[in-house]
Amino acid sequence: MANEYTDNLPQFAYSAQQVQQYEAKAAKLSGTDLSTLMQRAGTAAFRFIENSQPKSSHVLIITGKGNNAGDGFVVAQLCQQAGFSVTVFALFAPESLTGDAQQAFSQYQGALVFSLNDAELSQFSVVVDGVFGTGFRGELPEHVCLCFDRINKLPVTRLALDVPSGINATTGEVASSAFLATETITFIALKQGLLSGSAKRFVGTLLLADLDVGEAFKTLVTPTSNYLNHQTFMAARPLRALDSYKNAHGHVLLIGGNRGMAGAIRLAAEAALRAGAGLVSVATHPDNIASVLQGRFELMVHGVESANELSSLMKKASVIVLGPGLGQDAWAKALFNCAMVTELPMVVDADGLNCLAYAPRRKSNWVLTPHLGEARRLLSHLEASLNENDRFAVAKKISHEYGAVTVLKGPGSLISEGERININRSGCAGMASAGMGDVLSGIIGGLIAQGVEAFAATNLAVYIHGLAVEQAAQDGEKGMLAGDLFEHIRGILG
């Protein structure tokens, strides 16, 4: 229904430009027009307020100078008619509105103000952001920043219409003093920039109202990214035959754990076991053998003094995980260079990525798992400038430059293989803990060992990793340890 919204989000996302370009065509194909879409958008946002707030609530609607303001005036009119106390705070002169937005303004009969002091702001229980929509990019005007800085501190419901003002809905870039929504109701289709990086914090809970043109829109436009759901990933888990045995489920060799850094390689190795790998070997500094083996005797741990000792271990492996706790000294670089010679599938993380940044190269059949800082180093050799705040561009660039499946870690992690890109929807703030990346690398290696293709294995691993964190976080996000994920990984994979 046109007035409905949902938190059951679809599996595809688009750029803001695609929505702007095709919304009129989708409306026409659905037998309607843009004016009706504005009414439907405002109505869907009103329904959220009606369903979540008592009628005694005082609603503040902040408007700009485009169609997003038109949506806001529709919300204002409907709230007023329903008995809510409504104030519209115009950050731009409404006389500058045109078209459907101007018509929505002319139909609103309530209060309109151009300034509010802190005492006046404190009376509101709902604030609706109708300032900038999908077309926003760059930085917010100073007077808008000053307004949002005050609004964002209020302990109230903050509802953004379509896109929180200050968010680039294509790249996910966040302007200074962007509107900090507790909920965002986006229209027609998911915009990819709302789903990854710091933008997720400003979006809050994301809802979708497709305004009854979503199906038509999908027939017109090719998604820029995927946003796969739980059911899709659970169906993609590797199966294990009743008569299978350990050698049928692959052999992961993990290389890392320099002197004094046994923990990282141990976490990655156990994660590979928990992800279902049949055999797991660890090549680590001789000083670490007892530490890595302690309490996890299923691991085959080898002390490696020099790189030439790796050759026999690599011959037995079906996939390599390189980097956790590796360090960047001569020992680390020798092991890194030796591992680079193999044609085995490979997962490179942590100091493996730092070594790679010093000596960039292309390979096939490998996975790189950088966070933004590591991504910056991986691309530092390029002369062409790249907007590092555009996570989608960064992930794709690494994938193209290195020939790799790339995981750009962070909220809404991105998994890229050339032009294919997936936005992960699992995880929470509990992931901000030491060793989480090592666990992810181990899961990826464990899935590849079982025969899952690299891109599919990486997508599945990132989702499982985030879901395990969510489950572990039920006991509290703060103080969560990477090792707390292991029992949940096992349970999710089944």
Binding residue per annotation — 432? no
Number of H helices, E strands in the chain: 19, 18
Phi, psi of 286 (to 5 degrees): -55, -30
Q: Mind giving me the DSSP string for 350-392?
A: THHHHHHHHS----SSEEE---HHHHHHHTTT-SS---TT-HH
Binding residue per annotation — 248? no
Binding residue per annotation — 325? yes
Listed residue (163, 183, 329, 196) closest to 256, CA to CA: 329
Binding residue per annotation — 456? no
Binding residue per annotation — 223? no
Binding residue per annotation — 165? yes
Binding residue per annotation — 196? no
Binding residue per annotation — 479? no
Binding residue per annotation — 23? no
Binding residue per annotation — 65? no
Binding residue per annotation — 438? yes
In 213-308, which ranges are continuous DSSP H helix?
A: 214-220, 230-235, 262-274, 289-293
Binding residue per annotation — 412? yes
Contact 210, 32 (CB under 8 A): no
Which tokens is 458 given?
Answer: 């990486």
Binding residue per annotation — 134? yes
Residue 81's alpha-carbon distances to 29, 55, 129, 434, 453, in angstroms, are 31, 11, 20, 53, 56
Binding residue per annotation — 135? yes
Binding residue per annotation — 478? no
Contact 252, 321 (CB under 8 A): yes
Binding residue per annotation — 139? yes
Binding residue per annotation — 133? yes
Tell me how far apart the alpha carbons of residues 466 and 455 are, in angstroms, rounded to a whole number: 17
Which tokens is 431 given?
Answer: 């992931």
Listed residue (40, 62, 357) closest to 214, CA to CA: 40
Give the list of residues 6+ apart from residue 144 with CB closer than 8 angstroms, or none: 91, 131, 165, 177
Listed residue (71, 72, 70, 52) closest to 183, CA to CA: 52
Binding residue per annotation — 446? no
Binding residue per annotation — 162? yes
Tell me how far apart the alpha carbons of residues 169 and 167 are, in angstroms, rounded to a whole number: 6
Annotated binding-site residue numbers for K(+): 68, 129, 165
Annotated binding-site residue numbers for (6S)-NADPHX: 133-139, 162, 264, 325, 371, 438
Annotated binding-site residue numbers: 68, 129, 133-139, 162, 165, 264, 325, 371, 409-413, 437-438
Annotated binding-site residue numbers for AMP: 409-413, 437
